[in-house]
Amino acid sequence: MSFRTPLSRVTGLGSAKSGTEHFWNQRLTALANVPLMLFSIWLVITLVGADRAEMVSTFANPFITGFAILTIISACIHMRLGLQVVIEDYVHTESTKWLLLMLNSFFAFGVAIVAIVSLLKLSFGG
């Protein structure tokens, strides 16, 4: 016994099979962002008014730089996933949707790369 409608059987369309993975990826990055953002807030508060030498010495610590890089990666993945949902829900022209999804991925990747390279440059005293 099938629970599919006759139209569903004729068109052969069903679940896209990727919604659950997207859902869990978004929830996992949100969960990871909670402690990472608390760390980032603490870091920003402790560095308020610091000069460049103090910033370089703070980011010379590999744990500080490592957590900052994890924060950037998690936040950029979460940003890309969230905006992807908005684009898929509200953009109805397939060519525009495809273009915006591609730009969304490039933007998130670009932000992550620029931020990580900047952090690494700062951590090595550059």
Q: Kindly state whether residue 77 falls inside one of the protein's structural domains.
A: yes
User: What is the total count of domains within the chain?
Assistant: 1
Residue 17 is given by DSSP the state S
Confidence of residue 73 (pLDDT cuts 50, 70, 90): very high
Q: What is the pLDDT of residues 78-121, one digit of tens each?
A: 999 999 999 999 999 999 999 999 999 999 999 999 999 999 99
Q: Kindly state whether residue 8 falls inside one of the protein's structural domains.
A: no
Identify the CATH number of the domain in which residue 31 sits: 1.20.1300.10
pLDDT score of 5: 74
pLDDT score of 94: 94
Averaged pLDDT, 52-68: 95
pLDDT score of 125: 83
Q: Kindly state whether residue 34 falls inside one of the protein's structural domains.
A: yes
pLDDT score of 86: 96
Measured between alpha carbons, how far is 108 from 74 in angstroms, rounded to an integer?
11
- For residue 95, give its domain range: 19-123
pLDDT score of 17: 59
pLDDT score of 13: 63
Tracing tokens 């950029």 back to the chain, one arrives at 76
Q: Kindly state whether residue 33 falls inside one of the protein's structural domains.
A: yes
Q: Which DSSP string do the residues of 25-72 spell out, in sequence order?
A: HHHHHHHHHHHHHHHHHHHHHHTTT--HHHHHHHHTSHHHHHHHHHHH
Residue 77 belongs to what H/E stretch? Answer: helix 62-90
Q: What is the pLDDT of residues 10-41, one digit of tens each?
A: 676 666 656 788 899 999 999 999 999 999 99
CB 69 within 8 A of CB 119: yes
Q: Kindly state whether residue 111 falls inside one of the protein's structural domains.
A: yes
Measured between alpha carbons, how far is 4 from 14 in angstroms, rounded to an integer?
9
pLDDT score of 16: 60
Q: Report CA-CA distances (Å) from 81 to 48, 57, 78, 89, 108.
A: 31, 34, 5, 12, 10
Q: Kindly state whether residue 110 falls inside one of the protein's structural domains.
A: yes
